[in-house]
Amino acid sequence: MVELAPERLFGMEAKKGRWIFVIHGLLINLSLGSIYAWSVFVKPLTEYFTHTMGQQVTATDMLLPFSFFLAFYALAMPFTGKYIERYGPRNVTMFGGFLTGLGWLLASFASSVPMLYVMYGVVGGVGVGIAYGVPISVSARWFPDRRGLAVGLTVLGFGISALVTASLAGYLIGVYGVMNTFRIFGVAVIALTMLLSIPLKFPEVGWIPADWNPPTLVTGQHLTREFNRSQMLKTSSFYALWICYFIGCLAGLMAISIAKPLGIDVGIETGLATILVGFFAIFNGGGRPGFGLLTDNFTPRSAAMLSFALIALASLLMWQVQSVMAYIISFAILWGCLGGWLAIAPTTTGSYFGTGDYPRCYGLVFLAYGAGAIVGPQLAGFIKTSTGSYLGVFPYVLGLAVIGMVIAYTTLKPPQLKPT
């Protein structure tokens, strides 16, 4: 369908005005991504519950709310898709943003660590799970011609959130205390997501940008059509994408979980190790539009194989060299590839299975992120406990990257459909 009378968006032609949706999506994800600032709260919370509340807690106890958050974040996404279609992207994002902020607010009244698991981890995690996929869906539908770039920029906000929110949290904790900081974050998240969600909407069915023609089918080429979630589950492409996404997230989230302690183990001073975590976050953010562009200009399979090649290289370097420079290079790559998969996977979902049932389809694909969030850090912890060092995890990640490369090469292809 050719756009005969271009819709105007924000006072501009739709082809230009649609970029405003990407900016809003980036800023919404920047707010939701404040979860990545959790490490800043660990020590102040430990001191609060130990000294103020008189409870015996450890820093390890303080990591569990983060794990709960990620788990419920991933679990909520598959159940959200049908409601986006029913109630619209604006209302669903507002509701998810409200729950996320409410999780921060309720956490400020927690009188024990287990209360944090429910108030912050469950409520906040479900909120992000509801809201996170909506701006992605909006960008995917408005950008059939540049889907990878648009999606990559939309999720960029989540990746770079720690650069903003971690420093802000540290300042606010120093001035107002940890529980008041929870309250400030809660109010800010609710206010920002409510305001930024107002213009969100999907284009009309069949809309395409002016002066753009969808690629035509040539002999021997796969034809992509609209799949609903049930149909997607019957394809080998879905399982290949899910496993590849799982491996990419496992490697990246493992790197995030051990970045600072491993940096100290290889000889980096504690303060510099903290700064490097922020430095790595730049690569996490940049990997999203970067790999999104690669997915647009080449194929999802090519982008996936490049990611696994880089993960394998980083793991081999860290396993064999074990120097400060090897650490910086390896972890920049691993964080960047994690960001890359958060663009490759949603872009591939839209490219392979269409956008008609996109929120529900990608919600199921996104469970791979939740699985990687659990397995990656747990694998690193098991290796540390067993061997006394985190370095033993890298041969396993190297092996998984090789497996991912084989799966991507052999199976990560568009679902076959012969033209009629």
> Are the beta carbons of 176 and 184 closer than 8 angstroms?
yes
More confident residue, 258 or 116: 116
- Among the residue ranges 55-59, 78-82, 128-132, 398-402, the one predicted with the least confidence is 55-59
HSE-CB of 370 using CA atoms within 13 angstroms: 21
DSSP 267-315: T--HHHHHHHHHHHHHHHHHHHHHHHHHHHHS-HHHHHHHHHHHHHHHH
Question: Tens digits of per-residue pLDDT, 258-284?
Answer: 887 788 888 888 778 777 877 888 898
User: What pLDDT is recorded for position 25?
Assistant: 95
Mean pLDDT of 306-321: 95
The dihedral sign for the CA sequence 306, 307, 309, 310? positive
The dihedral sign for the CA sequence 238, 239, 242, 247? negative
Mean pLDDT of 56-82: 79
pLDDT beyond 50 at 5: no
User: What pLDDT is recorded for position 152?
Assistant: 83
Specify the residue for token string 């920029």.
Answer: 153
pLDDT beyond 60 at 223: no
> Domains in the chain, start-ordered, CATH in brackets?
9-197 (1.20.1250.20), 229-411 (1.20.1250.20)
Q: pLDDT band for 352, please (50, 70, 90 cuts).
A: very high
Average pLDDT, the chain: 86
- Paired tokens of 90: 């604006």
Q: Please give the share of the chain, as a percent, with pLDDT higher than 70.
A: 93
User: What pLDDT is recorded for position 219?
Assistant: 43
> Are the beta carbons of 142 and 126 closer than 8 angstroms?
no
Would you report the helix, strand and coil content of the chain in percent, each value rounded to 5?
80, 0, 20
Buried b (16+ CB within 10 A) or exposed e, 376-393: bbebbbebbeeeeebbbb
DSSP 247-280: HHHHHHHHHHHHHHHHHHHTT--HHHHHHHHHHH
User: What pLDDT is recorded for position 417?
Assistant: 55
Q: pLDDT band for 220, please (50, 70, 90 cuts).
A: very low
Task: State which amino acid sits at residue 326.
Answer: A
User: What pLDDT is recorded for position 2?
Assistant: 43
- Among the residue ranges 265-279, 283-297, 302-316, 344-358, the one predicted with the least confidence is 265-279
pLDDT beyond 70 at 58: no
Q: pLDDT band for 36, please (50, 70, 90 cuts).
A: confident
User: What pLDDT is recorded for position 215?
Assistant: 64
Describe the crossing of helices 178-197 and 81-107 by its angle, rounded to 10 degrees: 150
Question: Tens digits of per-residue pLDDT, 146-196?
Answer: 888 898 889 888 878 878 887 788 889 889 999 999 999 999 999 999 999
Element (H, E) at 83: helix 81-107
Q: pLDDT band for 243, please (50, 70, 90 cuts).
A: very high
Residues 58 and 52: their CA atoms lie apart, in Å, by 14
Residues 369 and 320: their CA atoms lie apart, in Å, by 28
User: What pLDDT is recorded for position 3?
Assistant: 43
More confident residue, 251 or 3: 251
Could you tell me the pTM of the whole model?
0.77
Mean pLDDT of 389-416: 93
Distance of CA 234 to the CA centre of its chain: 25
More confident residue, 7 or 70: 70
